[in-house]
Amino acid sequence: MNKAVKNIVIVGGGSAGWLTAGIIAAEHNANSTDGINITLVESPDISPIGVGEGTWPTMRNTLQTIGLSEHEFIQCCDASFKQGSQFVGWVDGSKNDSYYHPFVAPQGFGQSNISGHWYQNNRNVPFAHAISFQPHLCDHGCAPKQKQTPEFAAVANYGYHLNAAKFSALLQKHCCEKLGVIHIHEHVTDIKPDSTGAIESIATTNHSKLTGELFIDCSGSHALLIDGHYKIPFISKKDILFNDSAIAAQVPYSSVNAPINSHTISTAQQAGWIWDIGLPTRRGVGYTFASEYIDDISAEIALKDYLRQSLTPNQLVDIEFRQLTFNPGHREKFWHKNCVAVGMAAGFIEPLEASALALVELSAKMIAKELPAHQSIMHITEARFNKRFLYRWQRIIEFLKLHYVLSKRNDSRYWQDNRADSSIPARLKQLLALWQYQEPSFNDFTEIEEIFPAASYQYILYGMGFVTQERASTRRYDNDDICNKHIAENQRLCQRYLAGLPSNRELIDYITQN
């Protein structure tokens, strides 16, 4: 390993492979003679799942960075705008059990104790509705911006819902035609190491030797390089997050003009939860569950019961259901020698809070920004990458577990076991103890690029009825005047935006027709 890093080989396509290729290619001028060389090798036999997928607002910056038009993206990927998630039935399963985790932070967050003020003065209104205008936009089906708002700009912070198969196809076209990525549509047949154990080259069906200084494993659950070649151990997190299966379906709308939800709906079930993602032409709906607590047949029956609320019997008969299985967890490390795993090759937990594509973005951006200029220093980047992403995976696991720990549902052993002390990570236990007496704050999360910030924790905690005790003494931070000002400003913004924003369907139709 004593070469300049000039050639990168990515094994695997899909959203992970092509996003990674695009981000690195754009940063390192792969379309110029003095830039980096990127080759992506993709098996011709593996097709994307295409059940509908959600992104974080970070995707806007990613698309802009790699030079994709937002309008082209929406037109080509059956995409719509996403403003957060709504959780239905997670607290106790009662009729009005619902709360939001929006993408907009609480009004005035960090300037005063807005959560404490809400609890003392306004807790008859759901937390997110009281201190953020975005849940109101979601309730009314509003888009996050106006028709004249520039691409990627926002009135309300937003990400996307998209068709993953179409997204991969668009990224492939863009990367190859605009960013200089070389595409080889063949099977990997061999992996050859050098004398140090680093990968020297791979062979494919028609290419005996594809050399590179860095190899990126985006081969999904097959993990051809990180597992198949290097045997890096996989750390299962099934003892913390129980879900390991899913049944997914593509669901039609009742009419071509049916509203498009601008949020993911996550509805709790007996042994998991159902996602409902609105795309312009259909919905992506699925039940993710724990096979220890419910069998496939019962899970499919539960999903059909959910779909009966919006489909006719004839429509339901035509639905095809796809069975999926996964082992929740991640690799012991993600970067080993000159190989780094991105996407499902690195790990997968479950689709709650849509962290999968966000982790791909974060991984690719760190590789792009800190790409070693020479192999001799690659071990330094390896250590930095592994440290940061072990931290990020741990934070994701804790945040997702929070949703289950706070539930008061007692209708099944699944929910009861999710609250068992033995299944709760130690750091999360410590934070929950702390938050009984002080609200989540910036000091609880010290990284510059936290996966989930303190505001997100407040939305989940107080949306699910968690109580932070009032202090015996007052603080400067407990300022009712400032809090009232922010609440009034939130109400003003609600009225203004509800009056001025088009529906999600209107904006999508406008973009796709122009």
Mean pLDDT within 33-50: 85
What is the C-alpha to C-alpha distance for residues 26 and 49, in angstroms, rounded to an integer?
Answer: 27
Secondary structure (DSSP) of 62-86: HHHHHT--HHHHHHHTT-EEE-EEE
Dig out the tokens for 16 from the structure. Answer: 């992970």
What local confidence, expressed as pLDDT, does residue 52 receive? 62
pLDDT given at position 426: 98
Tokens standing for residue 287 = 């039940």
Instruction: Give the model's pLDDT for residue 165.
Output: 93
Give yes or no for residue 49 having a pLDDT over 80: no
Query: Per-residue DSSP letters for 381-445?
Result: HHHHHHHHHHHHHHHHHHHHHHHHHT----SSHHHHHHT-GGGS-HHHHHHHHHHTTS---GGG-
Residue 382 reports pLDDT greater than 70: yes
pLDDT value for 48? 61
**CB proximity list for 183: less than 8 A, separation 6 or greater:** 39, 40, 42, 172, 175, 176
Distance between CA atoms of residues 30 and 218, nearest Å = 19
Q: How confident is the model at residue 254 (pLDDT cuts 50, 70, 90)?
A: confident
Burial class (CB in 10 A: 0-12, 13-18, 19+), 140: middle
Q: What is the pLDDT of residues 63-113, one digit of tens each?
A: 999 999 999 999 999 999 999 999 999 999 999 999 999 999 999 999 999
**What are 194-214's pLDDT values in tens digits?**
999 999 999 999 998 999 999
**256, two tokens:** 């071509």
CA torsion angle 447 452 455 458 (round to 10): -120
The answer to whether residue 45 scores a pLDDT higher than 90 is: no
Express each pLDDT in 410-462 by its tens digit: 999 999 999 999 999 999 999 999 999 999 999 999 888 889 999 999 999 99
10's enclosing H/E stretch is strand 7-11
pLDDT averaged over the chain?
A: 95
Phi/psi class of residue 375: alpha, beta or left (left: φ > 0; alpha: ψ in -120 to 50)?
alpha
* Distance between CA atoms of residues 263 and 135, nearest Å: 9
Asked if residue 137 lies in contact with residue 123, where contact means CB atoms within 8 angstroms, the answer is no
Per-residue pLDDT reduced to its tens digit, 279-296:
999 999 999 999 999 999
Residues 331-366: tens digit of each pLDDT: 999 999 999 999 999 999 999 999 999 999 999 999
The pairing of beta strand 214-217 with beta strand 347-348: unpaired
CB distance 343 to 267 below 8 Å: no
pLDDT above 90 covers what percent of the chain?
94
- 7-52+163-235+329-393 — its CATH code? 3.50.50.60
Percentage of the chain lying above the pLDDT 70 cut: 98
Is residue 84 within 8 A of residue 263, CB to CB? The reply is yes
The DSSP bridge pattern shows strands 272-278 and 347-348 to be unpaired
pLDDT (0 to 100) of residue 448: 80
Q: pLDDT for 449-504, tens place per residue?
A: 889 999 999 999 999 999 999 999 989 999 999 999 999 999 999 999 999 999 99
Total number of residues shown for the chain: 514
Structure tokens at 293: 């607590």
CB neighbours of residue 151 within 10 Å: 16
**What's the token pair of residue 331?**
């690799």
Residue 48: CB partners within 8 Å, gap ≥ 6?
A: 14, 15, 164, 165, 168
